[in-house]
């Protein structure tokens, strides 16, 4: 690990204040747009268990380059509703993204996806590949058989143990887990902001339900993998190899199955490239 980095993320409260909450399918969903209204559209999808705030360190470079950046917190995440007893699914999250398109008047867009957002992006791509002008993928379970969950994910995913583990969640345990999957030592303020996104409005209590996507991903593996591999537009992978979950061990499969893709490997970076090295991620997106 490198030395402790300076804060990469702007203030969480300011981030939320800069967006709005709209109701889609009876749920309030936080979203925001940044950059010129007539800029080239780009959609950024966040991962589990955090929020769209993960992208806040990357967005200024995109808006300076003229992009109109759309972000949202998925249902069950961040500043969006976190209903308990809800049957969360990737298909529902994709439906919400499509409702957001309609609300904002977005017809086509580039799409960038990380972790949980990768599965949502694959579902969206399987539905309407023509809507996406370019695809960029950051560390995530694009090939379910290569996914290597850490211990806390296994506990939270367990139907009986998961609810108990979620009630025992703490910021200290969260920080320890995040530092196991990151290649670079992210600042304490950033980890605290990420924890606030996770824990707000009882968010830790819904994590077992949200993690049902691991089973959904396996069930939809053929459809989602085909959507990714058959996509005819420009494709980029920005990958942190020091990620124990979806790191360097995924790169040979990417090279084999998506040979025409551009692959940017960020040495020393783990599971959260956009937080660990936002400057490099922004440069890779813009190059």
Nearest C-alpha neighbor of 22 from the set 79, 68, 83: 79
What are the residues facing 109 on neighbouring strands? 132
Q: Is the pLDDT of residue 3 over 60?
A: no
Residue-averaged pLDDT of the chain: 93
SS3 34: strand
Residue 141, C-beta contacts closer than 8 angstroms, at least 6 positions apart: 115, 118, 119, 147, 214, 217, 245, 246
**Tokens at 200, concatenated:** 């707000």
- The tens digit of pLDDT for each residue in 68-96 reads 999 999 999 999 999 999 999 999 999 99
Mean pLDDT within 213-229: 97
Q: State residue 169's pLDDT score.
A: 78
CA angle 270, 271, 273 (to 5 degrees): 75
DSSP collapsed to 3 states, 128-140: CHHHEEEEEEECC
Specify if 140 maps to a domain.
yes
Q: State residue 246's pLDDT score.
A: 97
Q: How many residues does the chain have?
A: 287
CATH number at residue 161: 3.40.50.1820
CB 116 within 8 A of CB 50: no
Specify if 7 maps to a domain.
no
Q: State residue 2's pLDDT score.
A: 40
Q: State residue 78's pLDDT score.
A: 98
Q: State residue 167's pLDDT score.
A: 65
Q: Is the pLDDT of residue 268 over 90?
A: yes
Specify if 2 maps to a domain.
no
* Percentage of the chain modeled with pLDDT above 90: 88
Q: State residue 6's pLDDT score.
A: 52
Specify if 4 maps to a domain.
no
Q: Is the pLDDT of residue 111 over 80?
A: yes
Backbone angles phi, psi at 229, to 5 degrees: -75, -25
Q: Is the pLDDT of residue 1 over 50?
A: no
- The tens digit of pLDDT for each residue in 52-73 reads 999 999 999 999 999 999 999 9
Mean pLDDT within 137-150: 92
User: CA-CA distance, 33 to 25, in Å (whole number)?
Assistant: 21
**Tokens at 12, concatenated:** 């969480």
SS3 232: coil
User: CA-CA distance, 278 to 55, in Å (whole number)?
Assistant: 8
Nearest C-alpha neighbor of 53 from the set 83, 14, 92, 24: 14
Specify if 6 maps to a domain.
no
Burial 29-51 (b: 16+ CB within 10 A, else e): bbbbbbbeeebbbbbbbbbbbbb
Report the relative pairing of strands 27-34 and 67-72 from DSSP bridges: antiparallel
- How does residue 200 score in pLDDT terms, banded at 50, 70 and 90? very high
The 10 Å Cβ neighbour count of residue 232 is 8
Specify if 63 maps to a domain.
yes
> How many domains does the chain divide into?
1
Give me the domain span that covers residue 70: 12-286
Of 96-110, 167-181, 242-256, give the lowest mean pLDDT range.
Answer: 167-181
Mean pLDDT within 221-249: 98
SS3 268: coil
Residue 287: is the preceding peptide bond cis (ω within 30°)?
no
CB 215 within 8 A of CB 87: no
Backbone angles phi, psi at 103, to 5 degrees: -60, -40
């Amino acid at each position: 690990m490198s030395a402790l980095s300076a804060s990469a993320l702007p203030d969480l409260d300011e981030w939320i204040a800069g967006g709005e909450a709209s109701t889609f399918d009876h749920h309030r969903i936080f979203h925001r747009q940044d950059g010129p209204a007539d800029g080239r559209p780009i959609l950024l999808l966040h991962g589990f268990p955090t929020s769209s705030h993960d992208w806040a360190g990357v967005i200024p470079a995109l808006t300076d380059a003229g992009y109109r950046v759309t972000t949202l917190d998925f249902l069950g995440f961040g500043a969006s509703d976190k209903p308990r007893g809800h049957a969360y699914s990737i298909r529902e999250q994709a439906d919400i993204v499509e409702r957001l398109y309609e609300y904002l008047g977005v017809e086509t867009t580039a799409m960038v996806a990380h972790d949980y957002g990768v599965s949502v992006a694959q579902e969206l791509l399987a539905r309407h590949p023509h809507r996406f002008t370019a695809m960029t993928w950051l560390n995530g379970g694009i090939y379910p058989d290569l996914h290597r969950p850490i211990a806390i994910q296994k506990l939270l995913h367990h139907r009986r143990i998961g609810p108990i583990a979620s009630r025992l969640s703490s910021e200290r345990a969260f920080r320890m887990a995040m530092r196991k999957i990151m290649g670079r030592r992210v600042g304490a303020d950033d980890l605290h902001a990420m924890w606030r996104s996770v824990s707000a409005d009882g968010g830790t209590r819904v994590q077992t339900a949200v993690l049902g996507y691991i089973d959904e991903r396996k069930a939809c593996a053929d459809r989602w993998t085909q959507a990714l591999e058959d996509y005819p537009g420009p494709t980029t992978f920005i990958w942190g190899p020091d990620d124990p979950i979806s790191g360097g061990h995924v790169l040979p499969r990417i090279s084999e199955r998506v040979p025409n893709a551009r692959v940017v490997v960020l040495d020393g970076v783990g599971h959260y490239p956009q937080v660990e090295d936002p400057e490099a991620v922004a440069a890779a997106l813009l190059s």
